[in-house]
């Protein structure tokens, strides 16, 4: 049987692909991607001998979404985590302009409920 080879990209290649470059040293900012790995459970690279990270096409797509949410939509890390975890964004609709609005809507609903709970406690 012939197995299709999947092209894996190194962490440096990913950083270059998304223009994550240190402005002073002009080297890839791989620490940004490693940080994202700690925050986003959807991002799991293959770690081979020597601790070298390699990313599948699926990982690249997850990074593309994270990059979009953080850099283009301007969400915070927590906002992007919430968007990813609550499936506010899917691979096909990362260009939707309502992602930020949906995030803030959920945040307002959450805070409103907390305020209402406090008011009810004050009445009792």
Delimit the domains of the chain by residue range.
9-123
Question: Residue 63 in 3-state DSSP?
Answer: helix
Contact, 9 vs 55, CB < 8 A? yes
Q: How far apart are CA 113 and CA 52, in angstroms?
A: 45
pLDDT tens column, 12-35: 999 999 999 999 999 999 999 999
Which pLDDT score, from 0 to 100, does residue 3 have? 62
Assess if CATH 1.10.1660 describes domain 9-123.
yes
Contact, 56 vs 6, CB < 8 A? yes
Question: Residue 8 in 3-state DSSP?
Answer: coil
Which pLDDT score, from 0 to 100, does residue 7 have? 86
**Confidence band for 11, pLDDT divided at 50, 70 and 90:** very high
pLDDT tens column, 69-84: 898 888 899 988 988 8
Residue-averaged pLDDT of the chain: 84
**Confidence band for 68, pLDDT divided at 50, 70 and 90:** confident
């Amino acid at each position: 049987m012939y197995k299709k080879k999947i092209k894996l990209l190194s962490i440096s290649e990913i950083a270059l692909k998304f223009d994550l470059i240190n402005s002073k040293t002009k080297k890839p900012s791989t620490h940004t991607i490693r940080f994202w790995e700690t925050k986003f459970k959807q991002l799991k690279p293959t770690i081979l001998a020597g601790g070298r990270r390699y990313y599948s096409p699926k990982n690249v797509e997850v990074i593309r979404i994270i990059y979009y949410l953080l850099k283009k939509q301007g969400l915070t890390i927590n906002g992007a985590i919430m968007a990813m975890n609550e499936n506010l964004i899917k691979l096909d609709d990362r260009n939707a302009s309502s992602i930020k609005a949906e995030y803030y809507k959920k945040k307002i609903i959450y805070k409103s409920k907390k305020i209402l709970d406090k008011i009810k406690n004050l009445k009792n």
